[in-house]
Structure 1
Amino acid sequence: MKIAQIAPLAESVPPKLYGGTERIVSYLTQELVAQGHEVTLFASGDSVTNARLVTCSDVALRLDPAVKEHLPHHVVMLEQVRREAHQFDVLHFHTDLLHFPLIGEFADRTVTTLHGRLDLPDLKPFYKAFPDIPLVSISNDQRRPMPPVKWVGTVYHGLASDILPFTAKPTGNYLAFLGRISPEKRPDRAIEIAAKVGMPLKMAAKIDNADKAYWETVIEPMVNSHANVEFIGEINELEKAEFLGNAGALLFPIDWPEPFGLVMIEAMACGTPVIAFNCGSAPEVIDNGLSGILVDSVTEAVENVEWALRLDRRKVRATFEKRFTAERMARDYLDIYRSLPGVRANAAPLHRPNRRAPDLQIVA
């Protein structure tokens, strides 16, 4: 198949630091290439891929101090995609809703994966206006707020199986928090849980400009007042393996309809169990009592930390391998691609006799 993957330009593919969507685009693209497909990636020029790369900005927009507004760069990219659309059997968009008005003539051979929250009121009239664009959700819970639209599947995220190695015996006796410092991610709950159980907490997190006030007024004072809490900041993929692998458990104390929660399966890949609050996608991702523990309150989380620390890390890793690999994710998407009404009849996978996973370079 000739497949176009269209990524956001805010981060590179894969991202240097934080960036869930671009990381998933990278894993999917690499796996599709490994399975013998002809893949073109529309992304920032500092992206690293085995696909054909179409450079749509010199570097990731978030890392370019000269860039003040992202929208013009994305519009230029989408115009380039539109001009080249005839070359592809399938076009897979990861750019939320921006491209919808541009793809009417070939929408029946497109897929749009919605990576964000869908419960915002301004989204309903938009999706009502485009009921025939094929959409993919990243969890079933993500779909709940939406008006009737053309869902063609739910595909859970997957990781390259060797990107985060299994750690059988973690060397650190700490709880981990990885993600963004934002009210919906509830880092305050993580600090409270660690304090109540008397364990160290290491926090590796990004602080967006929109969340600086929350950091400065709520979380930073909490970090400074708890001797057991260490704030690390953003980390890259190489640092992530050690950070998650050596943790006793990952805290995922969310307070919003999380569409997926990539960090949960990243922890599982390392064999690290997850203590997750029971909302959003968490019940779909966590096998309760096997790969982690689902809780409904800080009190319940505190009561279950000891149980989580006793979970069999090999079974946590085995659950990841069964449910959340990039190979499985790519298979699911290929099934969806082939089911699209506009996909070309002769579009078929290419088979290489000696399949070898491509080497993905990590840029620190």
Structure 2
Amino acid sequence: MHGDGRAIIAVDLAKRPPQNPDPQGSLRIGMVAPPWFGLPPRAYGGIESVVSDLVNQLTLLGHEVTLIGSGENLTSAHRFVQVFETPPTASLGDPLPEVINAAACAAALADIPVDVVHDHTIAGPLLARGRSAPTVITAHGPVTGFHADYYRRLGDTVGLVAISDAQRRANAELDWLGTVHNAVDVSSFPFRADNDGYVLWLGRFSNEKGPQLAIDAARAAGSPIVLAGKLNEPDEKEFFAREITPRLWAGVEYVGEADARAKRELLAGARALVFPIQWEEPFGMVMVEAMACGTPVVAMRRGSVPEVVLDGVTGLVVDTYDELVEAIDAVSGIDPAACRSRAEECFDLPVMARGYERMYRAVVDGGRALRDLAPHGAGAGA
């Protein structure tokens, strides 16, 4: 951002021609990303990854996308409004970058005509009431407690989209527009029918993600385990020192935070991904990434896990620690090809893009018909 507060707008005119365009015609979409990471992020940054992939898919479908975010833009957006030249990663969680992002969004969209705004931030949806174009928002995190109160107060000024049916069930009283599962570029993940014998834990170091349980279960099952994860915040470092460092025995390897390339190599080489979450996680992207590589998932039955992993087909879903240990041994019977097929059918990028097309059409057409549809089992859409 310039010193006077003006956002930088870059326009890329060299775009690929549309592929499989929307038969109902193109939409002008304002896509609002959080300010914390570049687009796409180099390592951690799940929401920014989803936003970047969605932008690329929507332009391939013939839609005109204005992207508002921070850092570098490597997407195919037609316009890019850069809020912060360097993302304020060190201030992660500070409300001011979010508010500045919202202010930049308001200024940009006052001059750029759009048919619909898709906002992935916390503060941005507060501006929905004052604009003529409808706003769709995705609930990327919790929908209970203060979050529930916030979404409830936004009311019908936004169309609220869930990333899993489990998330919708966690607060069925909210006026959900529909469900669209997160997705990955399945073709970018290497498929392997064989493996290197280790199990993998990949995520953020916290009790919610259960890395200490993954280590204990792998050791009890007699399997080596590799851990790769985010270790930047003070609470993550404290957790690591307390729970992980004492468990770095023989057969337990911590390799640091994995970038996109390293993550794919680790997932493709793993015998299984261990996902022992300890909370009702609305969507675990790493499960889809593992399946895309042909790697089965061993996971606790929490949140969206039963919705993403087909028990006995693409992994094993368990309820107790003892079952987790047994599953690490038994998971070798899962067919890698079935994992890849599941990822392609339900969690590939075109599936997500078409799902959001439906959400955009629902609000642009002035109706809320999708709200009447019950949560579904798999795939994108309501």
Mark yes or no: TM-score above 0.5: yes
Offset at 1:181? 0.5
Q: Distance in 2 between matches of 1:233 and 1:4?
A: 36
Equivalent pair of 1:286/1:292 in contact (CA under 8 Å): yes
Equivalent pair of 1:18/1:179 in contact (CA under 8 Å): no
- Secondary structure, aligned partner of 1:5: strand
Structure with the greater relative contact order (CA < 8 A, sep ≥ 6): 1 or 2? 1
Residue among 323, 332, 338 paired with 1:309 = 332
Letter in 2 for 1:178: L
Equivalent pair of 2:186/2:349 in contact (CA under 8 Å): yes
Instruction: Determine the structure 2 residue equivalent to 1:160.
Output: 185
Instruction: Determine the structure 1 residue equivalent to 2:36.
Output: 10
Offset at 1:68? 7.9
Q: Distance in 2 between matches of 1:278 and 1:107?
A: 42
Q: Over residues 211-254 of structure 1, what are the superposed CA-to-partner deviations in whole Å (9 max), with x where a residue is unaligned?
A: 2221111222122xx21100011011111111000000000000
CA RMSD of aligned residues (A): 1.9
Task: State whether structure 2 residue 99 is matched by structure 1 residue 75.
Answer: yes
Task: State whether structure 2 residue 350 is matched by structure 1 residue 327.
Answer: yes
Residue among 193, 196, 199 paired with 1:175 = 199
Instruction: Tell me: CA distance 1:285–1:95, structure 2 relative to 1, closer, same or farther (3 Å).
Output: same
Unmatched segments (≥5 aa) in structure 1: 345-364
Instruction: Determine the structure 2 residue equivalent to 1:233.
Output: 256
Offset at 1:337? 0.4
Q: Distance in 2 between matches of 1:281 and 1:68?
A: 26
Instruction: Determine the structure 1 residue equivalent to 2:378.
Output: none
Residue among 222, 239, 247 paired with 2:247 = 222
Letter in 1 for 2:361: R
TM-score by length of 1: 0.88
Equivalent pair of 1:137/1:151 in contact (CA under 8 Å): yes
Residue among 283, 294, 309 paired with 1:271 = 294
Instruction: Determine the structure 2 residue equivalent to 1:54.
Output: 81
Letter in 2 for 1:37: H
Instruction: Tell me: CA distance 1:343–1:16, structure 2 relative to 1, closer, same or farther (3 Å).
Output: farther
Equivalent pair of 2:81/2:108 in contact (CA under 8 Å): no
Instruction: Tell me: CA distance 1:28–1:202, structure 2 relative to 1, closer, same or farther (3 Å).
Output: same
- Secondary structure, aligned partner of 2:66: strand
Letter in 2 for 1:238: R
Task: State whether structure 2 residue 225 is matched by structure 1 residue 201.
Answer: yes
- Secondary structure, aligned partner of 1:267: helix
**Which stretch of structure 1 is more off in the superposition, 258-267 or 136-145?**
136-145
- Secondary structure, aligned partner of 2:68: strand
Letter in 2 for 1:57: F
Q: Distance in 2 between matches of 1:298 and 1:124?
A: 31
Instruction: Determine the structure 1 residue equivalent to 2:16.
Output: none
Offset at 1:113? 0.3
Task: State whether structure 2 residue 108 is matched by structure 1 residue 92.
Answer: no
Q: Size of the alignment, in residue pairs?
A: 336
Equivalent pair of 1:93/1:111 in contact (CA under 8 Å): yes
Offset at 1:84? 3.5
Instruction: Tell me: CA distance 1:91–1:304, structure 2 relative to 1, closer, same or farther (3 Å).
Output: same
Question: Identity of counterpart residues, as a percentage?
Answer: 37
Offset at 1:317? 0.3
Equivalent pair of 2:314/2:334 in contact (CA under 8 Å): yes
Letter in 2 for 1:61: P
Offset at 1:184? 0.6
Q: After the TM superposition, which residues 84-123 of structure 1 pair with which residues of structure 2 at under 5 Å, given as runs?
A: 84-85=108-109, 87-96=113-122, 98-106=123-131, 109-119=134-144, 121-123=145-147
- Secondary structure, aligned partner of 2:274: strand
Q: Over residues 290-335 of structure 1, what are the superposed CA-to-partner deviations in whole Å (9 max), with x where a residue is unaligned?
A: 1111001121011122331121101110111111001000000001
Q: Over residues 146-204 of structure 1, what are the superposed CA-to-partner deviations in whole Å (9 max), with x where a residue is unaligned?
A: 3733211110111113221211222x110000001101101111001110111110000
Q: Distance in 2 between matches of 1:343 and 1:160?
A: 32
Q: Over residues 244-298 of structure 1, what are the superposed CA-to-partner deviations in whole Å (9 max), with x where a residue is unaligned?
A: 0000000000010101000000001100000010011101111111111100112
Instruction: Determine the structure 2 residue equivalent to 1:141.
Output: 166
Letter in 2 for 1:94: H
**Which stretch of structure 1 is more off in the superposition, 27-36 or 210-219?**
210-219
TM-score by length of 2: 0.84
Equivalent pair of 2:167/2:303 in contact (CA under 8 Å): yes
Instruction: Tell me: CA distance 1:259–1:239, structure 2 relative to 1, closer, same or farther (3 Å).
Output: same
Equivalent pair of 1:6/1:95 in contact (CA under 8 Å): yes
Q: Distance in 1 between matches of 2:170 and 2:237?
A: 29
- Secondary structure, aligned partner of 2:152: helix
Q: Distance in 2 between matches of 1:145 and 1:267?
A: 25
Q: Over residues 82-111 of structure 1, what are the superposed CA-to-partner deviations in whole Å (9 max), with x where a residue is unaligned?
A: 233351111101113x12322203376111
Q: Distance in 1 between matches of 2:320 and 2:174?
A: 34
Equivalent pair of 2:128/2:134 in contact (CA under 8 Å): no
Offset at 1:343? 6.3
Instruction: Tell me: CA distance 1:265–1:110, structure 2 relative to 1, closer, same or farther (3 Å).
Output: same
